[in-house]
Amino acid sequence: MSEQSQSAGGAPNAVVIGASAGAIQALLHILPALPEDYTLPVLIVVHVPAGRRSELTALFAAKCRLPVAEGEDKEPILPGTVTFAPPDYHMLVEPGGTISLSRDEQVFFSRPSIDVLFESAADAYGPALVGVVLTGANEDGAQGLAAVAQAGGVTLVQDPASAYARAMPEAALKACRAARRMSLDGIVAALLAAGRR
Amino acid sequence: MEDEKIEDIEIRLLLEALYRRYHYDFRNYAQASIKRRLRQARDRQGVATYSALQDKLLHDPAAAAGVLRFLTVQVSDFFRDPSYFKAIRETVVPHLKTYPSLKVWIAGCSAGEELHSFAILFREEGLEDRTLFYATDINQDALEAASRGIYPLDRMKAFTENYRLAGGKASLSDYYSTGYGGAVFDKSLRDRVVFSDHSLVTDAVFSEMQLISCRNVMIYFDRDLQDRAVGLFRDSLGRGGFLGLGSKETLRFSEHVGAFSEFVREEKIYQRRQA
């Protein structure tokens, strides 16, 4: 994967998004705006309570032009798909470009954790990754976004002033100096530019 | 970038060292999650690099034992994913009732939560007397905990709810008493259980089974190692035997997919094909 990402000459190979409180509204702004010929896989962690079947996939499948599913273990990561981490599992990216799941301990009281996805994706994709931290009320995602930046990836953060909950984007901006603070419209524009055919 | 490449070399060497010195084989574990655990182990040991960690673990068996326990520990719940146990009860048990004797393998039993769940379910379905359970894990502490059957009282509320949703016929509290600072599960539930140190990575088939439950264990393996483990299960199951996986696991990407049919698709319960 690292060879592949380097040969791409800086063009992204994947997008990772993390969101918590207020996630659905923010994602409803972003995901339906992605066209059906979008070229990147989009991997998403939303903090959801364990023990319930997530309704996120059904909700977004009905609103998106891209196929939306919950990640399964060892599934290949495909361009133009939206994959949510399943409730009560961490979702990670393996260097070969597949998903792996884990039931390791919670991070910031959460499983799935944004940090776990972002750190593994930064490892697998290196500079060919776009990391996005949206609204939320805790600090998950801050370290993960810093790892994306350290690997040379693009880092975007929802402007805390416009976020439903500002703690998470604020923590991400603090931990990741390279991150760009953006409106949701700005994030949509950046993701479209990154994944244009 | 340069630093990360060195780190990957170090991790590969560390896993090789653990295998040669202690015969624990993580070389084909899913890289992203083993890396995360190794990083935690490195930080807990207070060393800066994986090379330094390797040096320490090679020469300090006590430190190595602690790290190996940490790398292999898992936690589970009683009747985790209640719909899985409900499907076992409603659709698999009727098949099992046609056998005069049964062998059931809980592969990767961790601290015994799932084993006890099965033992309770089999007692309620009248299968207990004809069943031998094999509970295996590579973590010695976990096997000992499983054979003690004592769990924190504060988890009983959630476990009781799982038990109810799984179609439990009595009350979970009928199966335990309180003592030793926890919920002590009835010793008779473990009368027909063989606890054994067994590795899906390095060990072989040991008996013919009618049911194998191996949930959220193979998610820590890479594809090749998953194939090895599923191959073991294929060879351990009699024709028509059942294999239950975790809710987000699948045989779709396995080289052995053709040896199984989907028995209860949404619960990841597979059946060994007849021919």
- The domain tally of chain A equals 1
For residues B93, B261, B75, A123, the Cα torsion angle rounded to the nearest 10 degrees is -170
Residues B150 and B25 in one domain: no
Q: At what angle do helices B50-59 and B61-72 cross, to 10 degrees?
A: 120
Interface of A with B in 90-119 (CB under 8 A): 90, 92-95, 98, 100-104, 116, 119
What is the percentage of chain B residues whose pLDDT exceeds 70?
A: 98
Q: Which residues of A touch B30 (CB under 8 A)?
A: 92, 94, 100, 102
pLDDT confidence bin for A5, thresholds 50/70/90 = very low
Q: What is the pLDDT of residue B98?
A: 97
- The domain tally of chain B equals 2
Residue A140 falls in the annotated catalytic set: yes
Residue A37 falls in the annotated catalytic set: no
Give the mean pLDDT of chain B. 95
Chain A nearest-CA distance from B105, in A, is 21
Chain A nearest-CA distance from B234, in A, is 19
Check if the interface score ipTM surpasses 0.90: yes
The Cα-based distances of B42 to A63, A148, B8, B51 in angstroms read 44, 21, 14, 10
CB nearest B253 (choices: A74, A95, A152): A74
Contact between B218 and B253 under an 8 Å Cβ cutoff? The reply is no
- Residue B132 is assigned to a structural domain of this protein: yes
- Residue B229 is assigned to a structural domain of this protein: yes
Identify the domain containing residue A184 by its residue range: 13-194
Q: Report how far residue A164's alpha carbon sits from residue A137's, in angstroms, rounded to the nearest whole number.
A: 9
- Residue A1 is assigned to a structural domain of this protein: no
Q: Which residues of A touch B219 (CB under 8 A)?
A: 73, 89, 100-103
Query: Which of B72, B91, B122 is at the close of a domain?
Result: B72
Q: What is the mean pLDDT of residues B37-46?
A: 95
Buried b (16+ CB within 10 A) or exposed e, B38-50: beebbeebebeeb
Q: What is the pLDDT of residue A4?
A: 41
Interchain contact A172–B (C-beta under 8 A): no
Residue A104 falls in the annotated catalytic set: no
- Residue B27 is assigned to a structural domain of this protein: yes
3 state SS of B185: strand
Among B2, B3, B4, B33, the residue to mutate for chain A (most A Cβ within 10 A)? B33
CB nearest B32 (choices: A71, A75, A93): A93
- Residue B77 is assigned to a structural domain of this protein: no
Identify the domain containing residue B33 by its residue range: 2-72
Q: What is the pLDDT of residue A10?
A: 65
Residues B32 and B89 in one domain: no
Q: What is the pLDDT of residues B132-161, one digit of tens each?
A: 999 999 999 999 999 999 999 999 999 999
pLDDT confidence bin for A1, thresholds 50/70/90 = very low
Q: What is the pLDDT of residue B161?
A: 97
